[in-house]
Amino acid sequence: MKDEPMDKEDILKELSELHKLDYDYADGRILGSMCTQAHPFAKEVYCKFLDSNLGDPGLFKGTKYLEDEVVKSIGNLLSLDEAYGNIVTGGTEANIMAVRAARNHARKYKGIVDGEIIIPSSAHFSFKKAADMLNLKIVEANLDENYKMDVESVKELISDKTVAIVAIAGTTELGLIDPIEEISKIALENNIYFHVDAAFGGFSIPFLKEAGYDLPVFDFSLEGVCSITVDPHKMGLAPIPAGGIIFRKEEYLQVMAVDSPYLTVKTQSTIVGTRLGAASAATYAIINYFGKKGYSRMAQELMENTYYLKDGLQEIGYEIVCEPELNLLAFNHPNVETHEFAEKLEKFGWKVSIAKCPTEAIRVVLMNHIKRSHLKELLEDLKEIY
Ligand SMILES: *Cc1c(COP(=O)(O)O)cnc(C)c1O
């Protein structure tokens, strides 16, 4: 900051120079991101609600209504009639809230102090942050031969210190869905909190199932499921940051509540205090703008792009790690080491990401900004590299 005020024009010029250093989704070159460009309508709404602070909902009753409506809508999508929860900054914050609810619930009703959470080794790193912040020990379940959470391994790891079991609906690295129905039963039998991380899959699995795709049940229709994370800022096309945490019961919010003396509400269960209402408003706008049919069409298009890329890769001779379940494909060159292969792709201008679990591989998330024409160009380059 300088002593003297600067001209708007000068500031904007500097900003636009720096903005040029950012990659643009519209180029179709960003292959490894789970985020994408938000829909223009959602951005327009977002800007109108920049001052709405949901940390003090009594002052922003309209925006609070929008948050509640979004939570209800996402809950309905996940087979829950009465949903509780919040629109937060993303999957990370949503997962931390779920783990905090589970920990506090176990502390209050079972007296567990040195708690443990069972997560699959394919879990997102946000659970490491959650465990660290909440003083919990992570116990990692193995994956089975299909790279999904191994049910037997979960059974073996349950102890009298287990405060939560976590399974993933759409893993970050491979887009796979864990055997949630079986794990739900185990959680129920053992009276353990069960959280499903559908940050990635939440805005596609319900729509794909509706369209006839053969995907497993993962939602609140399974009695053992206590909470689900869903990110509107991934396939929901809401602007970042927008994550969703949906709870089956209000008591999971209540066990996290702390007194909030100077605000319009008496207690607060969210992690952050002052928090954006713009995400709730923009998500409300975009889910109603698309409707189930719009999202269904989009989800199917993304899957068609995924199969198109898969077929193209196999035709050339590349090896896919596993059959895609969602719009995410991991593959390798049969002879070139993954990092070296990634460098070659970078030289052609592709921004790739490398999966590590279970094996190193190039990972492409087929998000909305990757069009068929980009995939054609990618396959041309891959032919040359091969
Ligand atoms: C993206 C993702 C997260 C983290 O979400 P952020 O919005 O980046 O915080 C957590 N879990 C899964 C499965 C994800 O795909």
Note the pLDDT tens digit of each residue in 17-35: 999 999 999 999 999 999 9
**Residue range 45-98, pLDDT digits in tens:** 999 999 999 999 999 999 999 999 999 999 999 999 999 999 999 999 999 999
- Which of 229, 230, 326 gets mutated to test ligand 1 (max ligand atoms within 8 A of its CB)? 229
The pLDDT of residue 92: 98
CATH code, domain with 52: 3.40.640.10
The last residue of a domain, from among 266, 287, 308:
287
Q: Is the pLDDT of residue 263 over 90?
A: no
Pocket test for ligand 1, best of 86, 89, 92, 230 (most atoms within 8 A of CB): 92
* CA–CA gap between residue 274 and residue 52 (Å, rounded): 9
Ligand 1, pocket residues at CB < 6 Å: 34, 90-92, 95, 124, 126, 168, 172, 197, 199-200, 231, 243
pLDDT at 303 over 90: yes
Give the model's pLDDT for residue 359: 87
298 in a domain, yes or no?
Answer: yes
Kindly indicate the confidence band of residue 298, based on its pLDDT and cuts at 50, 70 and 90: very high
159: pLDDT strictly greater than 90: yes
Q: Is residue 234 domain-shared with residue 297, that is, in the same domain? A: no
* Closest residue CA from atom 5 of ligand 1: 91
With H, G, I as helix, E, B as strand and everything else as coil, classify residue 323: coil
Cα(341) to centroid(ligand 1), Å: 26
Question: Beta strands 243-247 and 258-259: pairing type?
Answer: unpaired
Atom of ligand 1 nearest to the CA of 241: 7
pLDDT computed for residue 311 by the predictor: 98
- Is 194 a residue whose pLDDT tops 90? yes
Q: 223 and 334: one domain?
A: no
Q: Is the pLDDT of residue 182 over 90?
A: yes
Q: Is the pLDDT of residue 262 over 90?
A: no
Q: Structural domain tally of the chain?
A: 2
Instruction: Give the number of other CB atoms < 10 A from CB of residue 113.
Output: 11
Q: CA angle, 29 as apex, 25 and 30 as ends, to 5°? A: 60
Range of the domain at 338: 9-39+291-385
Give me the pLDDT at residue 362, please.
97
- Counting from 1 in the atom list of ligand 1, the atom nearest the Cα of 124 is 11
Please tell me the distance from the alpha carbon of residue 330 to that of residue 332, in angstroms, as a whole number: 7
pLDDT at residue 219 greater than cutoff 90: yes
Say if residue 352 is in the same domain as residue 297. Answer: yes
Question: What is the rounded average pLDDT of the residues 225-243?
Answer: 98
Residue 357 has pLDDT above 90, yes or no: no
Q: How far is the CA of 198 from the centre of ligand 1 (A)?
A: 8
Q: Kindly report the CATH number assigned to the domain that includes residue 333.
A: 3.90.1150.10
- Residue 373 region by backbone torsions, left for phi larger than 0, else alpha for psi between -120 and 50, else beta: alpha
Q: pLDDT digits over 1-19, tens only?
A: 989 999 999 999 999 999 9
Distance CA 9, CA 210 (A): 51
What does pLDDT average to over the chain? Answer: 97
| The domain boundary residue, chosen from 287, 303, 322 | 287
Closest to 236 in 3D by CA, of 277, 263, 265, 206? 206
Nearest Cα neighbor of 119 from 215, 58, 196 is 196
Position in ligand 1 atom list of the atom nearest CA 90: 7
Q: Are residues 110 and 181 in the same domain?
A: yes
Instruction: Tell how far the Cα of 355 is from the centroid of ligand 1, in angstroms.
Output: 14
Q: What is the mean pLDDT of residues 167-179?
A: 97
pLDDT at 144 exceeding the cut of 90: yes
Q: Are residues 16 and 110 in the same domain?
A: no
pTM above 0.85, yes or no: yes
Q: Is the pLDDT of residue 328 over 90?
A: yes
Whether residue 181 is found in the same domain as residue 47: yes
Same domain, 31 and 51: no
Confidence of residue 358 (pLDDT cuts 50, 70, 90): confident
Q: What percent of the chain has a predicted confidence (pLDDT) above 90? A: 97
Do 89 and 76 fall into the same domain?
Answer: yes
- Tell me the C-alpha to C-alpha distance, in Å, between residue 333 and each of 57, 85, 341: 53, 43, 7
Cβ-contact 302, 289 below 8 angstroms: no
For 139, phi and psi rounded to 5 degrees? -120, 120
Which residue, 135, 154, 157, 136, is CA-closest to 144?
A: 154
